[in-house]
Amino acid sequence: MRDIPFPARSIYHDHVFFHLAPRSLRAADKKRSSTLQSRLAARYRACFHARPDPSQHMANKDVTDPARMEKIVSLCKRRGFIFQAGEIYGGLNGCWDYGPLGAELKRNLKDYWWRKTVQERDDVLGMDGAILTMEQVLISSGHVGGFADPMCECPLTKQRLRADQVPASSPGVEYTFLGASDQTTGKTTDKTFTVLIPDEKQDKDRSAQKIALQYYRDLFGKGSAPKTLDNGWTVQPGPREGELYNPENGVLLSEPRMFELMLKANFGATGDQIAYLRPETAQSIFCQYKNVLDSNRVKLPFGIAQCGKSFRNEINPRNFTFRSREFEQMEIEYFCHPDDGLRLTDEWLEERLKFYGEIGIPREKLHILDIPDGERAFYSQKTYDIEYEFPFGIQELEGVAYRTDYDLGVHEKGAGKSLVYFDEETKEKFLPHVVEPSAGCDRTVLALICEAFDEETLTDEKGKEDIRTVLRFVPRMAPIKVGIFPLLKKNEDQVRICREIQKVLQPWMTVFYDDGGALGRRYRRQDEVGTPFCVTVDFETLGEQGEEMKNTVTVRHRDSMEQERLPISGLLAWLLERVR
């Protein structure tokens, strides 16, 4: 396996793609394992500190809105969009279950992506690959032995942080404590502890000692309470070059260690066969490229699209569903001539930006990050990140990458079978290059909810203010397209007509019948889940206010709250025109 320049940025959704060591080091025996770890850490530090400040590529903390995010999370649970997996047992961290409305929203997104990507294009075909992936496939791709994150641990809080995402520390004074003892229990230690106190902090000595005493108190365990640091300490200007500090408390972090990100599965009669839960959907596409090409009589350029589950052993899942251990991807691998790769990368970027506008994410909320040469994956000639302004900061939604012929090349070599394409018109033989638009389905669902969430202040005729919570989904994404209400649930004719309308609409869209409570409350319940239209059957529908209104219904618009009358006979066509 060839060595990857260290570190190399992966387009696999923000992870760093490492080989743990050169081949000569991987062959070292166990006695040299500590030396290997030290060399790995030193190698990482040297490269990491030669790069720009990673905080420049993290979310902009100045635009975060935690209060808004808290309301969104609360709404998702209250109205049945998203629940934590296994919640009644305390929950499985990093895994989420989609409730009835969340499942509808996610299905609408996937269906529309498939429609725009596969059904409405002549040059993209679909496939559905296996989740269990052969070990040899992932060895060839470089995942086995190379798909890992560099993690540091805070000795005080035990918090784990990705080394490549720890921001640079401000200048200050570094205190290194040389140990402590507890006269009450007789416990003693010469274990050192280092903390960086920023220059703007008042009474630095006292602040550093307070943090150190907390560390040694936790180290000694229950019943111990060291009050003095008898072994003393050293002081020097900080931060030291090549060292990382916890941005929350200034504590010196541990040496970076590599944490495996793939989930292994043992199967077979004896359990000695090894496979992995796929870390991405792309590899099954590359492996089946030749079969798809030969069985469908297609010519380059063409793409293979796939939407499905992937799995990664996230060390620190966070930001609700944004970073999870189980997630869905919507990926396209677009195979082309080497001369067309860069042009097609820009074309696919525009296509993907257009898609986000169609599903309700405005262009002004999206940011295009053109990954510079030193930070792209080593095999990529061009990579764009499409980022969205989440309430927790600007984060990646999708990557559009020109991967050259790397993927087909490694699988051709690993499998020992030719994947060369023969162009019958030019008589040219070549290994196709690949452009990959890779979107996170769960991240996009979260972006849709965040973008749609709104709290509107309404004032009634008496001057009383009220807050209306509304999800302003574009109709094609809304989980429920139409709410259907009888004005009075005790009126049998109104209920009957509502049920008839429901039966007509159900084969075409998701509808919801509701006859509970006042009509205004029913409207508000549908506003809160994003239903764009509500249909009310009233006395005018029955002809009691005149024949001209008979067999018409009131249609109420969610965003404007305006109402209009429509004939029941034309209701389906009117709605289909607006919800598709």
Taking each continuous run of H as one helix and of E as one strand, the counts in the chain are 13, 31
**What SS3 class is residue 522?**
helix
Report the CATH number at residue 499: 3.40.50.800
Quick check: 7 pLDDT over 60? Answer: no
- Provide the token pair at 300: 């380059």
pLDDT digits (tens, 9 = 90+) for 212-252: 988 988 888 877 777 777 778 888 998 998 899 999 999 99
Spatial distance between the Cα atoms of 536 and 553, rounded to a whole number of angstroms: 6
Given 449, 470, 499, which residue is the final one in a domain? 449
The CATH number linked to 358 is 3.30.930.10
Last residue of a domain, one of 407, 426, 449: 449
Residue 123 lies in a domain: yes
**Both 338 and 422 in a single domain?**
yes
Print the domain residue range for 233.
150-259
- What is the pLDDT averaged over residues 279-304? 94
Does the residue 8 lie in any domain? no
Count structural domains, the chain: 3
Q: Do 425 and 508 belong together in one domain?
A: no
Residues 99 and 77 in one domain: yes
Segment among 29-43, 213-227, 434-448, 553-567 with least mean pLDDT? 29-43
pLDDT of residue 434: 97
| Residue 33 included in any domain | no
Residue 271 lies in a domain: no
- Looking at residue 558, what is its pLDDT? 95
455 in a structural domain: no
- pLDDT, tens only, 524-574: 999 999 999 999 999 999 988 778 889 999 999 999 999 999 999 999 999
Same domain, 253 and 298: no
Mean pLDDT of 371-380: 88
Q: Are residues 376 and 444 in the same domain?
A: yes
Total-model pTM: 0.77
Cβ-based burial of 542 (10 A; exposed 0-12, middle 13-18, buried ≥19): middle
> For position 185, what pLDDT does the model report?
79
Residues 76 and 179 in one domain: no
Q: What is the dihedral of CA 99, 103, 109, 112, to 10 degrees?
A: -160
Q: Indicate if 177 and 241 belong to the same structural domain.
A: yes
| In a domain? residue 468 | no
Asked if residue 296 and residue 214 are part of one domain, the reply reads: no
Q: Are residues 347 and 418 in the same domain?
A: yes
Together in a domain, 140 and 178: no
What is the pLDDT, as a whole number, of residue 62? 55
CB-CB contact of 361 with 375 (8 Å): no
Task: Looking at the structure, tell me whether residues 335 and 398 fall in a common domain.
Answer: yes
In this predicted structure, what is the pLDDT of residue 22?
33
Say whether pLDDT at 39 is over 80: no
Give the model's pLDDT for residue 42.
42
Least confidently predicted of 83-97, 247-261, 323-337:
247-261
- Are both 399 and 536 inside the same structural domain? no
Give the residue among 384, 377, 448 at the shortest CA–CA distance from 406. Answer: 377
Residues 50-63, mean pLDDT to the nearest whole number: 44
d(CA 101, CA 80): 6
What is the C-alpha to C-alpha distance for residues 325 and 93, in angstroms, rounded to an integer?
8
